């Protein structure tokens, strides 16, 4: 279901922005599954994987290497408010698509709502 939804979103973005280089953000990327699905569509020039947990960020890097996706895939390690509001990191990039598997439950508490608010507040997304 994720792969089909990402493919549809990528195709829609390409139709609406036929000449623009597209960029995707995998927010709370974990091992990088959704970001790699974005990359596999072939529509994205840049896919950024944002992960706060160092072992998971390293797993995403390894999965990017294993898939030969280093040319367009990058891992940003840290918490979304710190990264997305840091102009030295984000000043020259905006995103066309945000994908995420974050959950926000009492037991898990990954903080999806604050993370999405931070991404929107940082104006990290192109119109």
CATH assignment of the domain containing 90: 3.40.50.150
Residue 109 contacts residue 25 (beta carbons within 8 Å):
no
Question: So what's the pLDDT on residue 122?
Answer: 65
Whether 99 maps to a domain, the answer reads: yes
Question: Nearest CA to 116 among 95, 87, 92, 91?
Answer: 95
Which of the residues in the chain have pLDDT under 70?
A: 103-113, 116, 120-127
Q: Is residue 111 part of a domain?
A: yes
- Residue 108 belongs to a domain: yes
Say if 127 falls within a structural domain. Answer: no
Assigned domain for 47 exists: yes
Domain, as residue range, for 48: 2-12+20-121
Residue 126 lies in a domain: no
pTM above 0.75, yes or no: yes
Output the CA–CA distances (angstroms, integers) from residue 13 to 43, 71, 97, 106, in the order listed: 9, 21, 8, 34
Total domains, the chain: 1
Domain presence at residue 91: yes
User: Do the domain assignments include residue 48?
Assistant: yes
């Amino acid at each position: 279901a994720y792969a089909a939804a990402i493919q549809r979103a990528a195709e829609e973005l390409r139709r609406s922005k036929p000449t623009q280089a597209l960029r995707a953000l995998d927010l709370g990327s974990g091992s990088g599954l959704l970001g790699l699905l974005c990359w596999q569509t072939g529509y994205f020039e840049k896919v950024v994987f944002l992960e706060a947990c160092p072992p998971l960020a390293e797993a995403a890097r390894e999965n990017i290497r294993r898939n030969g996706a280093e040319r367009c895939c990058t891992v940003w390690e840290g918490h979304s408010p710190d990264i997305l509001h840091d102009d030295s990191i984000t000043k020259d990039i905006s995103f066309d698509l945000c994908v995420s598997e974050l959950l926000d439950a009492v037991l898990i508490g990954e903080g999806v709502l604050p993370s999405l608010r931070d991404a929107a507040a940082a104006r990290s997304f192109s119109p």
